[in-house]
Amino acid sequence: MSSPSSTNTGKRRMRTSNPTPPKREDKRSRTDVMDQRYIDVSSHTAEAVHTLLPQFTISDEDIQKIADAVKSNIITDITNLIRSHTEPLLEQIDQLKYENKKLREDVDAVEQYGRRSLIRISGVPEPNDERNTTEVVRKIISDIDPEFKGVDILRSHRVGKLSNPDDNSVPKHRQIIVRLSEPGVKFRILKCRKNLKETANFKSVYINEDLTMLRNNILYHCRKLLKKNKIKQLWTTNGKLCMLDKQDQFYDVTTTTRFVQAVDKVDPSYNTPDGW
């Protein structure tokens, strides 16, 4: 007879029930728990915000200060931006103005050089039937310059607009411009022009260098300074404009730049023309 242990050998005892499976985590229940915790935290946060809100209220005055500060910052930024773009342009404009002024002065110097043999005679009566000015010019110069020769005058003519015959005012006699044979003759005549006051018929006649329009304009303002007794003496020589102030300080005012520099010293209140 076999024993029970031997009988069960090789056979597996039958189990009467199924094994208990391992517990699985309920994902939905965990999510619900997290949501609940989030809700709790949110509610606590909301309560905290409600508790602190009265401490952070902003008045209208504070809002206005903030608005002014923002506005000031915006304006400053815009101003700096505009300045950064305009300053180089303004520098270029100033440079172009300087170059243009220098170019005008150079052109004026060349034009004046071409007038070195010209003189202007003013104060000579102009008859209605006048056809030639050379004879009267020869008469004027020969009376003051003993070395004068007729051939020293190349040509002459009146310059300027004729007076209106219908105007009741005293007619203005036009100037006579004279081209001489050489600059040396001009310098000699200018030295002798002081003798005009001693002549019988030409005491009201004046002889001067022929200047460019720009230099005539500068000379006009120099005469105004002389009338205001701001300078002591004014004269021209070889196209250059010269003046002497009350302290005997010499100034060459041939160009607008030099004139402005001189005026700043002799009469700072004088209004010089724009662009000078």
For residues 194 and 124, membership in a common domain is answered with yes
Verify that 203 and 129 share a domain, yes or no.
yes
| Ordered per-residue pLDDT tens for the chain, 276 residues | 445 444 454 455 555 555 565 555 554 555 555 556 556 656 666 666 556 555 557 788 888 999 999 999 999 999 999 999 999 999 999 999 999 999 999 999 999 999 999 999 999 999 888 889 999 999 999 999 999 998 999 999 999 888 776 666 677 889 999 999 999 999 999 999 999 999 988 999 999 999 999 999 999 999 999 999 999 999 999 999 999 999 999 999 999 999 999 999 999 999 999 888
Same-domain status, 122 and 183 = yes
What is the extent of the structural domain holding 155? Answer: 117-161+171-210
- Predicted model pTM: 0.67
Residues 176 and 119: their CA atoms lie apart, in Å, by 8
What tokens appear for 212 in the block?
């460019």
Q: Which of 115, 130, 146 is the last residue of a domain?
A: 115
CA angle (217 as vertex; 167, 264 as ends), nearest 5: 135
Question: Rounded to 5 degrees, what are φ and ψ at 74?
Answer: -65, -45
What's the domain count of the chain? 3
Give phi and psi for 231, each to the nearest 5: -130, 160
- Give Dmax over CA atoms of the chain in angstroms: 189
Residues 196 and 223 reside in one and the same domain: no
Q: Could you tell me if 120 and 207 are in contact, meaning their C-beta atoms sit under 8 angstroms apart? A: yes
Whose CA is closest to 243, among 205, 130, 84, 229?
Answer: 229
Q: CA torsion sign, 58 to 63 to 69 to 71?
A: positive
Alpha helices in the chain (DSSP H): 4-7, 27-52, 60-113, 134-144, 183-192, 213-227, 256-266
Domain with 149 in it: what CATH number? 3.30.70.1820
Same domain? 196 vs 238? no
Residue 126 lies in a domain: yes
What does the alpha-carbon distance between residue 225 and residue 165 come to, in Å, rounded to a whole number? 35
DSSP assigned state of 178: E
